[in-house]
Amino acid sequence: MNIILLSGGSGKRLWPLSNETRSKQFLSLLTDAGGARESMVQRVYRQIQESGIDARIVIATSAGQLDPIRRQLGEGVEVVTEPERRDTFPAISLAAAYLFSEEGCGWDEPVVVMPVDPYTELSYFQAAVRMEQFVREGVSDIVLMGIAPTYAAEKYGYILPRKGCGGPCLRVERFVEKPDAQYAHQLIQDGALWNAGVFAFRLGYVLDRLAQQFGSADFETVRSRYGSLEKTSFDYAVVEKASRVAMVPFDGLWKDLGTWNTLAEEIDEDVGHVVRGEGTEDTQIVNELGIPLIALGVKDLVIAASPDGILVASKDASSYMKPYVEKVSQRPMYEERRWGYYKVLDYDSFGNGCRSLTKRLFVAAGKKISYQSHAHRDEIWTIVEGTGTLLLDGHTRNVKRGDVAYITAGMKHALCAVSDLHLVEVQLGGELAETDIVRYAMDWQ
């Protein structure tokens, strides 16, 4: 079975934990059966494996999400990155071309596309297996998953089956995108199901379109001309224009944990340094700061604190925070990388045009920061804990707690952690941006 997992979005509704580089699917707030914290993408990836499905899994995502995916799922997971951010139709097309030309999948092989972030159960993935089976049997060109609605939601699309249609696979009559509550209630009365964003189709159904547009469905061809693909959703570009569409109903556990009020239902205990006082009830608290958070006598709140900011909101109001977050303009203060993570501790500017930025970095044992240089800033690295190997302009030396490295603009540098390595980085310069970086190829000996 071929599965394309879609990983996208910035998750602004889960600010301040999510930001432009740290999407909601990477927040380690859920709890697995053993009591360990896990993220949405880790949960879905684990569930696919636990469901017993023999699947080739490819994750389609943006380049900015590659590092957190590798960090959370390991180096062995297959990832296809977009050359530029677009929408689900281009992303699925690129992943389909990858399966064809890089993995050797045939045009007649079915593929199932699903998001990485639903909160669901193992029977959800068995429903996806049935979808693939119906495509393989030629029941329909495209098979969708329809979720049994639990209320008249305005934030989901609806799939309306044909009247009088029954059985495990229903013919689709039409689609309705995000109706108001009154219309949604009527749709549910008429048998409509939520659109889960899960699709099954033969690979050639998409490859044919690519071949018509580019003259080839080869991965490198599609990737090199990615910007010319229509920037639109797969639903609009393909599904809603298809003549033979069917749907497999699913009535098990399914939640979209895209807002704080829904995510709070699955956070079973406080996260971080939290002191909960008397009278604090029905309140979920997440504290990623290195300072204590005390909550006294509050009810029905979501409280979240991270380097990006602090949120205090009633659970009901937390669903409507996106326009307020869009007014906040600052660089991400926390970011996960393949080698570990960093937190911004301080940012300041001075009258002479000079700026300073102080970060705390963690580099996991055996991981490496790439060989790189910066054009517009100097850096000072202070090793706080751990051991590693530092490379400066071709010269290596061992570093340990208390060691300091001065890296001037233009100097090539890299770092390999022998044990878990903690360091403080101070950047100095007139322009301090993550884009000020040039990487060089090198092999650690």
Measured CA to CA, the distance from residue 173 to residue 165 in angstroms comes to: 10
Query: How high is the pLDDT of residue 330?
Result: 80
Residue 45 is encoded by which pair of tokens?
């990836």
Quick: pLDDT tens for 100-154.
Answer: 999 999 999 999 999 999 999 999 999 999 999 999 999 999 999 999 999 998 8
* pLDDT value of residue 85: 87
398 bridge partner residues: 389
Q: Which own/partner pairs from 338-345 qualify as long-range (CB within 8 Å, at least 24 positions apart)? A: 338/66, 338/67, 338/70, 338/71, 338/367, 339/67, 339/71, 339/363, 339/364, 339/367, 339/368, 339/369, 339/417, 340/71, 340/364, 340/367, 340/417, 342/425, 343/307, 344/307, 345/424
Same-domain check for residues 306 and 376: no
Where residue 390 sits, what CATH number does that domain have? Answer: 2.60.120.10
Q: What is the pLDDT of residue 11?
A: 64
Q: Write down the pLDDT at residue 351.
A: 81
Q: How many domains does the chain have?
A: 3
Same domain, 107 and 154: yes
Contacts 24+ apart (CB under 8 A), 205-211: 205/141, 205/142, 205/238, 206/92, 206/93, 206/96, 206/238, 207/96, 207/97, 207/100, 207/107, 209/93, 209/238, 210/93, 210/96, 210/97
| Distance, CA of 417 to CA of 386 (rounded, Å) | 8
In this predicted structure, what is the pLDDT of residue 211? 94
Predicted pLDDT of residue 118:
92
Q: Are residues 191 and 148 in the same domain?
A: yes
* Pair (129, 233) in one structural domain: yes
pLDDT at 8: 84
Dist CA 55 CA 1 (whole Å): 5
Judgement on whether residues 385 and 252 belong to the same structural domain of the protein: no
300-337 residues labelled b (16+ CB within 10 A) or e (exposed): ebbbbbbbbeebebebeebbebeeebeeeeeebbbbbb
Q: Which residues of the chain have pLDDT under 50?
A: none
The angle, 0 to 180 degrees and rounded to 10, between the axes of the packed helices 40-50 and 66-73 is 50
Quote the CA–CA distance of 64 and 343 in Å, as a whole number: 17
203, 300: one domain: no
pTM: 0.88
Domain shared by 221 and 360, yes or no: no
Instruction: State phi, psi for 176 to the nearest 5 degrees.
Output: -130, 125
Same domain for 150 and 120: yes
Q: How many Cβ atoms sit within 10 Å of the Cβ of residue 291? A: 8
The CA distances from residue 289 to 113, 271, 384, in Å, are: 37, 10, 19
| Residue 294, domain extent | 269-317
Residue 383 is assigned to a structural domain of this protein: yes
Query: Is the domain of 61 the same as that of 112?
Result: yes
Name the pairing type of β-strands 368-373 and 413-417: antiparallel
Same domain, yes or no, for 406 and 282? no
